Homo-oligomer: A and B are copies of this chain.
Amino acid sequence: MEPIKQRYSHQRETILQVVQSTLVHPNADSVYKETRKIIPNISLGTVYRNLNQLVESGRILKLKDEAMVRYDGNTGQHDHFRCSKCGKWYDVELIDQSIFKSFAEKHDFRIESFNLELAGTCKSCLDS
Q: Of residues 58 to 100 in A, which have CB atoms within 8 Å of B's CB atoms? A: 64, 67, 69, 81, 84, 92, 94-95, 99-100
* In the assembled complex, A126 has its CB within 8 A of some CB on chain B: yes
Which of B64, B104, B115, B121 touches A110 (beta carbons < 8 Å)? Answer: B121
Known interface pairs A92-B107, A107-B92, A109-B81; A114-B123 also in contact (CB < 8 Å):
no
| Contact with A118, one of B67, B113, B122 (Cβ below 8 angstroms) | B113
User: Is the CB–CB distance between A108 and B126 below 8 Å?
Assistant: yes
CB distance from A67 to the nearest CB of B (A): 7
Measured in the bound complex, the distance between the Cα atoms of B69 and A123 in whole Å is: 28
Given A67-B69, A113-B118, A118-B100 in contact, is the A95-B95 Cβ separation under 8 Å? yes
